[in-house]
Amino acid sequence: MELSTIAGQSIPTFPLYSTDEKAIPLLGFGTAEYPFGASIHTLKETILEAIKLGYRHFDTAAIYLSEQPLGEAISDALRLGLIKSRDELFITSKLWCSDAHHDFVLPALKKTLQNLKLEYLNLFLIHWPLSLKPGKYEFPFQKEDIVPFDPKSVWEAMEECQGLGLTKSIGVSNFSCKKLETILSTAKIPPAVNQVEMNPLWQQKKLRKFCEEKGILVEAYSPLGAKGTAWGTNRVMECEVLKEIAQAKGKSLAQVCLRWAHEQGVCALVKSFNKERMKQNLDIFDWKLTADESHKISQLPQCKGFPGAAFLSDDGPYKSVEEL
Ligand code: A2P
């Protein structure tokens, strides 16, 4: 992977495939909190703080309720001169499952852009390989709302969004190798990104190899295990091997996880709404893990934090975690 840095910033960037997009900063600021919208009234200020600290890549989604505060923070950052132009930012949002129907994709993106007060996204992702009956935006959702997902027609609509210039690039999230194969078999524009759960306890080795071969950048969500959320556990933050490595290096366990993700060639998306931890999480680019430390991490027993039981149903497309 060739790395370059944005002027004045310490975060390395990587050029995305199949897009005219300049480059994606390889550390992003996650805005999903649990429950969604829990600190909606302070989120704008938190994001402004993140911009001040040097974050330039922000990850949101229609379902997170963070699009509007992010949009307000961007407007304020421009007004305050923290950034000179919107082009200095990399903004990702995601299509919720109830809009994962061909004719709903473009209106959903337009609504997202309206929430963000932006003319274009840098990256628009299909949030899950699943469709829900249109009209409701809720998570968890009702199993009876799960309806057949047609990847071909949804992806065609995503391609139209890129063609219209409303997003610079398109991709997917939570897609397995098999589901990526399905998209790739008909895609005119291949997905630039697959955003998935990834951390030392769920390393995604097979999926990462597949994505590398296809030129798809992997983005890691829950790089610290997302403790305290419906999709995370304490296991990563309580892992003894990681604690020992962190202690020996004089780094925090979170920094070890983020550095490890970086050294695997992926883009990590980390969420902290605490100023000190936001700062700490940026401080991962001028030191390395040793071969021995990387080896110890590679040997950790694997356990998925979010098996996705909510997405399984007897009548829907996925009856088991394996199928999902
Ligand atoms: P907080 O927002 O209070 O900092 P993930 O990025 O895997 O989803 O994990 C997010 C969780 O990890 C949040 O609970 C966040 O809490 C916490 N977190 C983020 N950065 C750090 C850090 N450097 N040290 C400890 N906990 C962190």
Give the pLDDT confidence score for residue 152 in this predicted structure.
Answer: 98
Q: Which residues pair with 230 in a beta bridge?
A: none
Give CA–CA dist 287/179, Å, rounded: 36
pLDDT at 248: 97
Pocket test for ligand 1, best of 59, 251, 271, 276 (most atoms within 8 A of CB): 271
The CATH class that applies to domain 13-233+265-274 reads alpha beta
> How many angstroms is it from 313 CA to the middle of ligand 1?
31
Q: Is the CB of 42 under 6 A from ligand 1?
A: no
Q: What is the pLDDT of residue 317?
A: 87
Q: What is the pTM of this model?
A: 0.96
For 44, 131, 188, 214, 252, the CA distances from 150, given in Å and listed in that order, are: 36, 8, 16, 22, 43
The full set of domain ranges for the chain reads 13-233+265-274
What is the rounded CA–CA span in Å between residue 43 and residue 24? 23
**Cβ pair 287, 259 in contact under 8 A:** yes
Indicate which residue's Cα is closest to atom 24 of ligand 1.
254
Q: What is the pLDDT of residues 163-173, one digit of tens each?
A: 999 999 999 99
* pLDDT average, residue stretch 272-290: 97
Distance 271 CA to ligand 1 centre (A): 6
Q: pLDDT at residue 66 above 60?
A: yes
Query: Given 17, 34, 64, 221, which residue is catalytic?
Result: 64
Q: What is the mean pLDDT of residues 58-81?
A: 98
Give the C-alpha separation, 278 to 18, whole Å. Answer: 31
Q: Give the ligand 1 atom nearest the CA of 222.
A: 7
- Name which residue sits closest to atom 23 of ligand 1, judged by CA: 277
Ligand 1 midpoint to CA 226 (Å): 7
Residue 28: closest CA among 97, 93, 79: 93
- Which residue, judged by its Cα, is nearest atom 9 of ligand 1? 226
Percent of all residues in the chain with a pLDDT value above 90, rounded to a whole number: 86
Confirm whether 17 is a catalytic residue: no
Ligand 1 pocket mutation pick from 272, 274, 276, 306 by most atoms within 8 angstroms of CB: 272
Which residues neighbour 216 within 8 Å (Cβ) at sequence distance 6 or greater? Answer: 17, 171, 180, 190, 191, 192, 193, 194
Residue 5: pLDDT band with limits 50, 70, 90: low
- Centre of ligand 1 to C-alpha 270, Å, is 7
Closest CA to 17 of 179, 171, 129: 171
272 in ligand 1 pocket by Cβ < 6 Å? yes
Q: Could you give the CA distance from residue 167 to residue 135 in angstroms, rounded to a whole number? A: 23
User: Is 127 part of any known ligand binding site?
Assistant: yes
Which of 150, 111, 311 is CA-nearest to residue 231?
311
Q: Is the pLDDT of residue 230 over 90?
A: no
